[in-house]
Structure 1
Amino acid sequence: MFLQLRRRLAAGLPRNTGRDLRFWTRAIYITLPLLLVFNYLIIFHWSYFDSFYHRVFPDHTFHPAPVPPLAHTHESHDAPELDYWTWNTTTRFESPRLNLTSANTPCAVFPRYLLKKIQVVLKVGAADHWSRTDAQLSSVIKCISNVLVASDRLHTYGPKLEAHDVLAPLPPESYMHEDDYAVYASQKNASVKDLRQGHEGWKIDKYKFLPQVEQAVQANADAEWFVFLESDTYIFWDNVFRLLENYDHTHPYYFGSPSPGRVYPDTDGQKNWFAYGGAGFVLSNAAAHRLVDRKRNSLGLKGPRVTDEYREDVLHDCCGDSVLGYALHDKAGVDISGLWPMFNPHPLAGVPFGKWYWCEPVISLHKTAPEDFLKLWQWENKRDRRTGPLLYRDLATYHHLDTFTQRQNWDAADFDGFTEPDNSPAHTSLAACSAACTANAACFQYTWHGQHCYMARSMRLGHSKAPDGVHDEVDRAYVSGWDVVKIERWRREHMCAEGPHWVKPSVKRIF
């Protein structure tokens, strides 16, 4: 029909007009399929176009200029003076009121006005157990009104919060390994009950690190600081606020507990250091924007998204926090300011109190058990914050280690441990093990198991452990004890009278 109409029109038109009509008809036949294909690619394969400029300009065309040296560099500890500052900081929490009213709740004294400057990002998984969710909601993020919950599926987080699927815009079907995408896709229609019964959601966790930074900046571009934590991270907010007031957010800072990552290309084995995600990490406004902002070149072309630029790195790395640290170094020119042990990779029961964990303010705890969140939060809020930041020395009183004697089915010497020679009398009995620990100046606690005495140089709670091994029944058990006299003496001799040790940034002082 269309061809017949075309012939009739052409017959009644001047010769040149008919030729023009044939030209435009051919143009439509050629252009329309191309437009349809192009439209399909834009809708379903946008990541290719989004990274097109990076493919054309594979060098650092779109990376920001190098940053000048920072006031507090990651090698500040190399100076001959002390390895820490003794800043005189002030709490921003209000003083609790004497009368027990609703106005005296922890959130009533929480400095919520600071949340205009600080964007909190909680990374979770749709498969997280409900106990983790309840633990965070009842403590760490209870008073954080602007928390951004970054997840791998759109779902409710508790009764009021919405968890965002930060993987959806990547897009995941072309971004992930096939097996990883299968896990992601299976979550879409799975029930919450099924997700929490052995689902493999941990496999797609590494993909969330870069997009969570992108979405945090998009949600609150003017925030001075971006604080990132995970579902089993406990954060001491008073110490976070005190720390950040001593740094300038207009400089590119990246705080956390340093871990060794990949080796830089074209270097003699130089490693990239990244902030261990479980201990939490902080990006200044300048660092976050340098990472995710899309710089234009001299032609006005905008660079690729950071998630696309480092897609191959994510695919071939085990860990998202490692890739984040590499991207910050490679694109943003920002290296980690390592603040270990304030950012702490240990769980509450595993903190090895002693030389490194004593006068330092506590910023975070990793792998916190759900049952510890609320108890620790309640204990923290009973403390008078006007006396100063909460130090590890203070946290040690939470365990009451100086009141312990012995615990059955308990291992307290599996970290920072040592043993005496095999022919030592310490290995003859539980009583001999206890006596040997008392006599050894380096021993604070011990564990007797399998006719062997294990000692520890630090003070820590430890963990329960069922009997095991090939020994006789009585020797299969784990029995732990503490030298309470030595522990109390340590406390008296280390009062931190010089002030809190706000450690200087370092990648040589590491866990």
Structure 2
Amino acid sequence: MIPRSISRRPLRAVACAAIVLLLVYSFSDVSFANFGGRGYHSWRWQSSEGVSPFNETCKASRAAVARDVLVIVKTGGSEPLGRLTTQIATLLTEVPMQNLLILSDLDEDVGFYHIQDVLKDIPKEERDVYPAFGLYDQQQVLKAEGKDTRQLNGWELDRYKNLPMKRMIWNSQQALKEEDRKKWFLFIDTDTWVEWDNIFELLGHLDYKDKLYMGSPVWRKPLLEFAHGGSAYVFSYAALEALNKPDSHTIGTPLYSQYGVNVTSICCGDLAVALALNDRGIGMKGYWPMFNGEIAATSPYGDDHWCEPVISFHHIGESELDDFWRWHKNWKAKTGGLVWLTTRDVMSSANTSQQPLLYKDVYEYVADGFMDKRENWNNIEEVSRSLDAATFEDCRDACEVDRLCYQFTHHGGKCDLAHYFRVGRVRHLEAGKDKFVAGWHMGRIQAFMARKKCKTAHWVKSNP
């Protein structure tokens, strides 16, 4: 992150500049240029008054966007069913049937929902090219015999679903009247959580007629950057159309279902999507940290994870999804609903929603996880600085000396420091190995919270 630079100016000039900035913010959108060098937008926020943007009674502008979004959930016949059923009972309760599509590598029904097999129309001649399709055939046999397909490990089959999904969606959209077609396509996994208001707010400032492919970027040089699937990613209608434009080098070839991409030779289906789009001149737009591959407990908090809106979390377990969903509903009720105030015996309503859900708000959900010391715990993912330290106390002292340090982990004579703060995760003691002990500089965290005020949400610009 590029540090902010502050110029010394005469007091009168500073005051005038502040007044001008206030006036600009009051009457228009503002673009700032101090978020990691790429800047951010500040958009006027219109409360939905506690009503889902999918609800026809919602008066916020996001409601118009919601009606034009198709939410696509990717799952699999060998994936634990509890992940999907929990998501259906929580996150997806707001999504109308006409806005939802659940795709898999196995046709089945879960409650009122029909799950479609995206691989069933791939010709056997092409399936024979892909070794992993032996798993697909096993699934069909187990299903026909009434046996549990979850006993299989179908991860290797997962990569082949991403691109056929796009053709199935395109074909189904073309079968509709033009006015009934969706403008945006949001792809998620069954362990993805999405903040509906925030994603629709972002899309409301973009044009579906532009060829847009966006999400949380994965950088694996020398590979092409791609959007991380579990963090949720978005196609505009124009991008989906461009991907499905007839192309002579894919029609009728063994790789037709994969748009000419040799998926077997690469890491994953997410990269396959980026490669197919890149062949058609479409690059990925990264909107991290709004699209996030972490959960609330493992996400970092700090200068670039505080005033930024949260659009998604990933790897969220079944019990945590239920708990976080309930917390989020309660947060919306407190901050985005109608609070009735009694003034001179007259009932009036006051809308308390000043911001979308920001990282600073999610911090409240995990705040109890921060403490002075926690044994059998690791709070470090990205190490800001590493040094030798004989004891936990020595490591704590090193954090005290480093004025940017918010937390640390001591393990086996090593001390890792971090210039951000996160809760982290349990690190069980392994036989014959040293214990992980984590600590936080609570004074600095509290000072940061007192200092860092969010006068506006930081809707970060895309990168690249």
> Aligned to 1:130, which of 77, 81, 85?
81
Mapping of 1:18-417 within 5 angstroms? 83-91=39-47, 93-95=48-50, 114-145=65-96, 146-157=99-110, 159-171=111-123, 174-175=126-127, 177-190=129-142, 194-197=148-151, 199-221=152-174, 222-260=181-219, 272-294=224-246, 307-308=256-257, 310-331=259-280, 333-383=281-331, 384-385=335-336, 386-400=353-367, 404-417=371-384
- Amino acid of the structure 2 residue aligned with 1:479: V
Over aligned residues, Cα RMSD in angstroms? 3.2
- In terms of mean alpha carbon deviation, does 455-464 or 176-185 score higher? 176-185
Note closer, same or farther for the CA distance 1:164–1:381 as it changes in structure 2 (3 Å cut): same
Q: Conserved in 1, the CA contact under 8 Å of 2:370 and 2:423?
A: no
Note closer, same or farther for the CA distance 1:484–1:258 as it changes in structure 2 (3 Å cut): same
For normalisation by structure 2, the TM-score amounts to 0.78
* 1:122 counterpart SS class: strand
- Amino acid of the structure 2 residue aligned with 1:219: S
* Identical-pair percentage: 29
Q: Conserved in 2, the CA contact under 8 Å of 1:176 and 1:315?
A: no
Q: Conserved in 2, the CA contact under 8 Å of 1:409 and 1:477?
A: yes
- Amino acid of the structure 1 residue aligned with 2:89: S
Note closer, same or farther for the CA distance 1:327–1:492 as it changes in structure 2 (3 Å cut): same
Note closer, same or farther for the CA distance 1:501–1:477 as it changes in structure 2 (3 Å cut): same
Q: Conserved in 1, the CA contact under 8 Å of 2:102 and 2:115?
A: yes
User: Unaligned stretches of 5+ in structure 2?
Assistant: 1-31, 175-180, 337-352
Distance 2:282 2:436 in 1: 47
Post-superposition offset of 1:151 = 0.2
Q: Conserved in 2, the CA contact under 8 Å of 1:350 and 1:462?
A: yes
- Amino acid of the structure 1 residue aligned with 2:419: R
Aligned to 1:500: 457
* 1:249 counterpart SS class: coil
Aligned to 1:39: none
- Amino acid of the structure 2 residue aligned with 1:88: R
Post-superposition offset of 1:248 = 1.0
Deviations 1:382-422 (A, max 9, x none): 222332211112111210058523222111124334223x3
Deviations 1:78-104 (A, max 9, x none): 99986111112324x3436xxxxxxx9
Which has more helix, going by share of residues? 1
Distance 2:288 2:114 in 1: 32
Post-superposition offset of 1:470 = 3.5
Post-superposition offset of 1:156 = 1.9
Distance 1:433 1:370 in 2: 35
Note closer, same or farther for the CA distance 1:312–1:246 as it changes in structure 2 (3 Å cut): closer
User: Unaligned stretches of 5+ in structure 1?
Assistant: 1-75, 97-103, 264-270
- Amino acid of the structure 2 residue aligned with 1:448: H
Q: Conserved in 1, the CA contact under 8 Å of 2:379 and 2:424?
A: yes
Task: Mark the structure with the bigger radius of gyration.
Answer: 1
Distance 2:49 2:123 in 1: 45
- Amino acid of the structure 2 residue aligned with 1:318: C
Distance 2:423 2:159 in 1: 31
Q: Conserved in 1, the CA contact under 8 Å of 2:183 and 2:237?
A: yes
* 1:164 counterpart SS class: strand
Post-superposition offset of 1:451 = 3.7
Deviations 1:228-250 (A, max 9, x none): 01111111111001101001111
Mapping of 1:421-460 within 5 angstroms? 422=388, 427-460=389-422
Deviations 1:230-277 (A, max 9, x none): 1111111110011010011111111111224686xxxxxxx6322111
Distance 2:34 2:451 in 1: 27
Distance 2:131 2:33 in 1: 44
Deviations 1:274-314 (A, max 9, x none): 2111211101111111112437x9xxxx9669944634522
- Amino acid of the structure 2 residue aligned with 1:229: I
- In terms of mean alpha carbon deviation, does 435-444 or 219-228 score higher? 435-444
Distance 1:345 1:482 in 2: 23
Distance 2:68 2:56 in 1: 19
Post-superposition offset of 1:134 = 2.6
Note closer, same or farther for the CA distance 1:200–1:431 as it changes in structure 2 (3 Å cut): same
